[in-house]
Amino acid sequence: MDKQARKIASIIEASLPALESGQETLDSILARHSDLSEALRPQLEAALWLRRSRPQLEARPAYLQASRRRLVTELGRAPQAIPARQRWFDTSPRSLALEFVTLAMLIVTILAVGNNIRLASRLALPNEPLYPLKLALENLELAFNTDPAREASLYTEFSRRRTSEVVELVLIGKYEQVPATAARLDEHIQQAQANMDTLALSDPAQAARLETALQDNLANEAFILQVLLETSPAEAAPGLQQVLEIATRPLAGIGY
């Protein structure tokens, strides 16, 4: 139906000027489109009626001339709207206040959304969409830090996060992600120890406190991992043993 309607509309478009000028008749057009003549005839007749009624809708020339003069005079009293681009630079107090409130709301929204994403990323596990953001935020925290003591504390905290991730991964059966997390844990522990060695040259007491904190943390995590190893399926064992071996290495000196 729609296809035929479009075809008839195209025929009307093409043939109406010739019909109006007398070059063609209604019958000659219908003969050329005999397959559609039944549907085409009333359409052409109605279109022709509209075209012939057109003079009844013409404006009076006197009105057009006088109204043009009147409009041009009136325009001086009808200011144009300020374009959108100029409105941005509008310096009226009301406009500035509105823009300030809008900007403040935008900043608050961005901060709230950003904070929500940051908090959500903290819960992310390896191979999840927000996990790269979690690692990037950790690296950012390290990049903005210049204090070796603070850096050692950060690596201690990150190593705790990695062991927590291992526990979560084993609990949900994603054992294939454990080795990569174990490698990150190993790197964090080594970095923490390297910072403590540097710090020991200038502040041995502080370095000793940090080392105790790292060992306490790892001892707690190793205990949880050991319990998990004993209660998890056999396929989780290789990954867990690898993590346990990494986590307990710094504890050798304290008889773990």
Chain positions contacting another protein, by CB under 8 A: 2, 5-6, 8-10, 12-13, 16-17, 20, 42-43, 45-47, 49-51, 53-54, 56-60, 62-64, 66-72, 74-76, 78-84, 86
CA 36 to mean position of chain CA atoms: 54
Amino acid at position 69, single letter: R
Question: Which tokens go with 225?
Answer: 């991992």
Closest approach of another protein to the CB of residue 88, in Å: 13
Nearest to 220 by CA among 254, 191, 247: 247
- Shortest distance (Å) from residue 42 CB to another protein: 4
Which residue, 50 or 140, is less far from another protein as judged by CB?
A: 50
Distance CA 183, CA 163 (A): 11
CB of 82 to another protein, least distance (A): 7
Please identify, using beta-carbon distances, which residue of 59 and 172 lies nearer to another protein.
Answer: 59
What is the closest distance, in whole angstroms, from the C-beta atom of residue 106 to another protein in the complex?
A: 23
Q: Residue 59 or residue 119: which is nearer to another protein going by CB?
A: 59
Question: Between 15 and 159, whose beta carbon lies closer to another protein?
Answer: 15
Which residue has tokens 């120890």? Answer: 193
**Smaller CB separation from another protein, 5 or 97:** 5
Judged by beta carbon, residue 5 or residue 227, the one nearer another protein is: 5
Kindly state the smallest distance separating residue 5's Cβ from another protein, in Å: 4
Q: How far is the CB of 134 from another protein (least distance, A)?
A: 44
Q: How many angstroms separate the Cα of 128 from the Cα of each of 13, 99, 103, 121, 163?
A: 59, 39, 33, 9, 17
Comparison of 52 and 118: residue with beta carbon closer to another protein: 52
Question: Closest approach of Cβ 86 to another protein, in Å?
Answer: 8
